[in-house]
Structure 1
């Protein structure tokens, strides 16, 4: 699967950038270093000035790729969910059992992320930590409806829609497929955050994984 993934180009909505960062060494450097810097200092403290200092380039050179740090975070989020979607497709493509397919999809959504060495300018493990902490900041804004119309969240919704279809295949009569699917995807991020910062209010541990919880939940709910 990883070999197949390495041959795929991840496409991100072109409205999220001024110039596609994938087309130049500087652009890839901006992506790589922004992931590391956001993880290090947090999105609130992150600025293009600080990023420019990190990559030893003018702040203005970053604006040639992204018009704001909000658009940059949207870009990173879209890239992440595109990568997750590719993993979902390849991991479930040849599974005939509907419940096994859904269970595998849940593992992909909820598992601890390791860096994919085939994408040298993106550390998926660190990007996952950013998504866990910062993803809600992409849509908990006054501009969310307009940005949704622009298609900025299409890939994120596509991931959820794939889970919806799998839930309906397991139990066509279950009337809350959309709510369950979005709860799994969003809940995964939230539970990983709790595991890291509020351990006393989650059952997650080395022996109790998030995949175990959601697979147990969907089987008891749908079967």
Structure 2
């Protein structure tokens, strides 16, 4: 029997922790699939309530609006990626190897993880690729930031930046380089799939492997300067 794990997230992301009940877990599970199917713009709590055979009011007990639900899902994803990186680098001392492992995780195509019940990581990754910039490109970004809604993303950025600083303590822009590459990691996949003239990664290739090559080239070449 596989032990089930949970990602602990900032309580400001929700009104009631969805991981605390069967209904909350169902809301997250079906939201991921519904947003992947119809897109965030078309997604509504009314449509979700039909999907989960419940009421809109029951969903609003967990999340104040659909934007906060999306922020929760994206925050879960980045916290999950950091958890996997931390686990895989625990016994590794070479910062270059730790950085390569981190870059693998932010660029690879994910499979579903049996240790985390109710979340399809493979589907959630597609949402990150297609929708994640909508979590912070808003008028309320400063207020959301003060509430700690982007804590998971910033923590992942700081973890990877720390590997960069270990490799080259004199490099001036470790956090800028990391955040740029985190954004590029899913933007290039989106471009390859939908706006091919914006990327040299071709959708008929192994786009995830090529994305790793691209991101690795940017980071390691920058550190050699």
TM-score of the superposed pair, with normalisation by structure 2? 0.92
1:130 offset after TM fit, Å? 0.5
User: Separation in 2 of the partners of 1:97 and 1:12?
Assistant: 29
Deviations 1:108-144 (A, max 9, x none): 1111111112223100110011011111111101100
Please tell me whether residue 79 in structure 1 is matched to residue 76 in structure 2: yes
Tell me how far 1:77 sits from its aligned partner. Answer: 1.0
1:115-154 equivalences in 2 (<5 Å): 115-154=112-151
- Name structure 2 gaps, 5 residues minimum: none
Q: How far apart are residue 219 of structure 1 and its match? A: 2.4
Alignment of 1:148-187 (within 5 A): 148-187=145-184
The more displaced of 20-29 and 203-212 is 203-212
Aligned to 1:209: 210
CA RMSD of aligned residues (A): 1.5
CA drift of 1:8 comes to 3.9
Name the stretch that deviates more: 211-220 or 177-186. Answer: 211-220
Aligned length: 219
Deviates more, 1:110-119 or 1:157-166: 110-119
Q: Report the Cα offset of residue 201 of structure 1.
A: 3.1
Unaligned 5+ runs, structure 1: none
Name the counterpart of 1:70.
Answer: 67
Matches of 2:102 and 2:200, distance apart in 1: 21
Counterpart of 1:221 in structure 2 is 222
2:28 counterpart of 1:27: no
32-41 or 58-67, which deviates more: 58-67
Q: CA deviation at 1:199?
A: 2.6
Q: Determine if the alignment matches structure 1 residue 188 to structure 2 residue 189.
A: no
